[in-house]
């Protein structure tokens, strides 16, 4: 797994291409964190410095909610701050628009993680 992590961290543009949250997260964390949308609204994430890995699942597969949740987790564990989060525009409380392009709301995450022993 360490070889896969190293390859993803060294070449994040090969993980998802440009304009995706996967690339933005790898860049915002200087390669300390890598993530990937895998299937049906599931995002897997690994944080090298903390030895952490996990997955996030959005039941309806909504990518905006998935990316916002991933960014919220990274903010909660202290891996990104508001300055670096602003660079993750797609994952930073995205604006919701109708088919006509009119703003109809904003997706906001409400997340608090707690450590268990």
Determine the average pLDDT of the residues in 81-93. Answer: 67
Tell me what pLDDT residue 48 has. Answer: 94
pLDDT tens, position by position, 29-53: 999 999 998 988 899 999 999 999 9
pTM reported for the whole predicted model: 0.81
- Arithmetic mean of pLDDT over the chain: 86
pLDDT tens, position by position, 58-81: 999 988 888 888 888 998 998 887
96 vs 48, more confident? 48
Is pLDDT above 80 for 27? yes
Query: Which residues contact residue 11 at a Cβ distance below 8 angstroms, ignoring those fewer than 6 apart?
Result: none
Per-residue tokens: 93: 């409380």
Per-residue tokens: 44: 């897997």
Is pLDDT above 90 for 99? yes
Tell me what pLDDT residue 117 has. Answer: 67
- Specify burial of residue 31 (Cβ count, 10 A radius: 0-12, 13-18, 19+): middle
Tell me what pLDDT residue 86 has. Answer: 66
Is pLDDT above 80 for 28? yes
């Amino acid at each position: 797994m360490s070889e896969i992590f190293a390859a993803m961290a060294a070449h994040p543009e090969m993980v998802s291409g440009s304009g995706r949250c996967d690339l933005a997260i790898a860049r915002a964390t200087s390669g300390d964190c890598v993530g990937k949308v895998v299937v049906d609204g599931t995002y897997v994430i690994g944080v090298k410095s903390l030895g952490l890995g996990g997955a996030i699942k959005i039941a309806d597969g909504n990518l905006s909610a998935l990316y916002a949740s991933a960014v919220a987790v990274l903010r909660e564990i202290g891996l990104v701050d508001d300055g670096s989060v602003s660079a993750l525009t797609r994952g930073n409380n995205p604006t919701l628009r109708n088919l006509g392009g009119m703003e109809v709301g904003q997706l906001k995450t409400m997340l608090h993680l707690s450590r268990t022993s």
